[in-house]
Copies of this chain bind each other. A is one copy, B any other.
Amino acid sequence: MDEVTEPPAADFGLQRVLAALADRHRLAIVRFVAFHGESWCAQVMQDAGLDMSKSTFSHHLRILRDAGIVTKRHEGTKSYMCLRKDDLDSRFPGLLDSILNADAEPVS
C-alpha cells in the first residue's frame, strides 16, 4: 500500500520544495535522476553515492514525492523514479535549474 501523495503541480508548496531539497542526500538523488532520467530506484541508491539503508532511502524518496519533486512507478517487481522537471519549472520557474547548476556539495 502506497500512502504517499504525489501532488499536482498547482498544489506544490515552495516551503515544502525547499525543505525537501535542503538535504545533501535528497539533493544527490535529485541530481542523479536529473542527469540520468528515469531510473531504477535500487540503482539510484547504489550509484548516487548514498550510503544508507533501504528504509532510509524510502524515507527520502517519500519526502521528495510529497513535495512534488519526483514520481515513482512500479513495473513488475521494480520501482522507478523520475524527476518532475516540467512541473517544477512551470510552478517555480528557474528554481530547479539554479539548484542543479550550483556546485554539488559532498554527500557525506
> Which residues of A line the B interface, CB within 8 A?
13-16, 18-19, 21-24, 27, 91-95, 97-99, 101-103, 105
Contacts and interface: CB of A to CB of B under 8 A. Distances in A.
24 contacts: A13-B105, A14-B27, A14-B99, A14-B102, A14-B103, A15-B22, A15-B23, A16-B22, A18-B19, A18-B21, A18-B99, A19-B22, A91-B102, A92-B98, A93-B98, A93-B101, A94-B94, A94-B97, A94-B98, A94-B101, A95-B95, A95-B99, A95-B102, A98-B98
Mostly, the A contact residues are helix
A14 B100 CA distance: 10
Contact of A102 (B21, B92, B101): B92
A97 to B, nearest CB: 7
A15 B19 contact: no
